[in-house]
Structure formats: structure tokens, C-alpha cells
Amino acid sequence: MTDPAAAPVLFRAHWTIYLPSLVVAAVWAFVYLWADTREPPLAAIRSVALAIEAVVVPLLLLHALMRARSLRVAIAAGAIDAQWGFPWRRRLALPLREIAAVQVRPSIAQRLFGGGALALTLGNGKRHLIADLGEPAVVVRIVAAHQGGEGA
């Protein structure tokens, strides 16, 4: 178990942050191949699929990359410092004692591959959801250990 008063522990984005982009790429590649194998070939559908593969998929991957680069959660000296979001970055820095509840909310894909969203509820009732975080269960364990087991 990691002591929150010890050296900083840093958590970054999980690779599943890229999964939606990869699914879109795979689906439109299938559409392109399907349209190309029809007799006669469906040129309009093939062109739309190619345009999506050439323009939309790279934009989705770039957005996921920028989100992954901005996502980090650090725990040190009894405090949490979280930063996430693109294009609008959010930041949360507060002592662990101000967190009333913390839990992991994984999507279906994240249940299969790991990762998940970290849901934080503060003592004043304000909620924060940090999506696509690698090892959110470790964060929950660290916060719960700091709070004496309550809040997980």
C-alpha cells in the first residue's frame, strides 16, 4: 500500500482513451471495404468512408492524444492534485480529508481492458468525474486508507 504522506504517486491516462477513435476507424474501414466489394462498387459510400478515415479519424485520435497528455492525478503529502480535460482543462487541488466519497466507474470496455473513471464527491457535495484514468482503483485505495477506510 502506498502511503499518501510519502513520495508523490502519479497516475496518467489509460490506453482505452483511444478506443472510441479506433472503433470509428475500424467501422469505417469495414464500410469502405464493403462498398468496394459490391458489384458495381458503391463509389459514393466508398468516398464518404474514405473521407471519414482521412479527416475525422485523425481528428479523433488527436483529440484523444491531447486529452491523454493533459490527464494526470498526483497524490502526495495527504493531498490530491488532478488535472484533466481538453480543450478546456480542469484542475482540482485539495487535501484528501476534503473528499467525502471516491469510487471507480469503469465503462464496459474499461472493465475488460482496465482503467476507468474516478468519481470524487467533496464534503460540500460538489462532484468531479475524471474519465479514462489508469489504475483508478489504486487511487480509491490510497484515499480510503488516508480516511481510515471510509469513503470508498
On whether residue 2 sits in a domain, the answer given is no
Strands (E), 1-152: 9-12, 72-76, 79-84, 90-95, 99-105, 116-122, 127-133
**Amino acid found at 132:** D
pLDDT given for residue 126 in this prediction: 94
Structural domain count, the chain: 2
pLDDT given for residue 4 in this prediction: 47
On whether residue 3 sits in a domain, the answer given is no
On whether residue 4 sits in a domain, the answer given is no
| CATH assignment of the domain containing 84 | 2.30.29
pLDDT given for residue 114 in this prediction: 84
pLDDT given for residue 77 in this prediction: 85
38 plus 100 within the same structural domain = no
C-alpha span between 4 and 135 (Å, rounded): 16
pLDDT given for residue 115 in this prediction: 86
On whether residue 151 sits in a domain, the answer given is no
44 plus 95 within the same structural domain = no
On whether residue 136 sits in a domain, the answer given is yes
Q: Tens-of-pLDDT digits for all 152 residues of the chain?
A: 445 456 688 999 999 999 999 999 999 999 999 999 999 999 999 999 999 999 999 999 999 999 999 999 999 988 999 999 999 999 999 999 899 999 999 888 888 888 899 999 998 999 999 999 999 999 999 988 887 654 44
**Amino acid found at 67:** R
What are residue 63's phi and psi, to 5 degrees?
A: -65, -45
Which structural domain range is residue 113 located in? 9-13+73-146
pLDDT given for residue 106 in this prediction: 87
On whether residue 103 sits in a domain, the answer given is yes
Q: SS3 for 131?
A: strand
82: number of CA atoms within 13 Å, CB side?
22
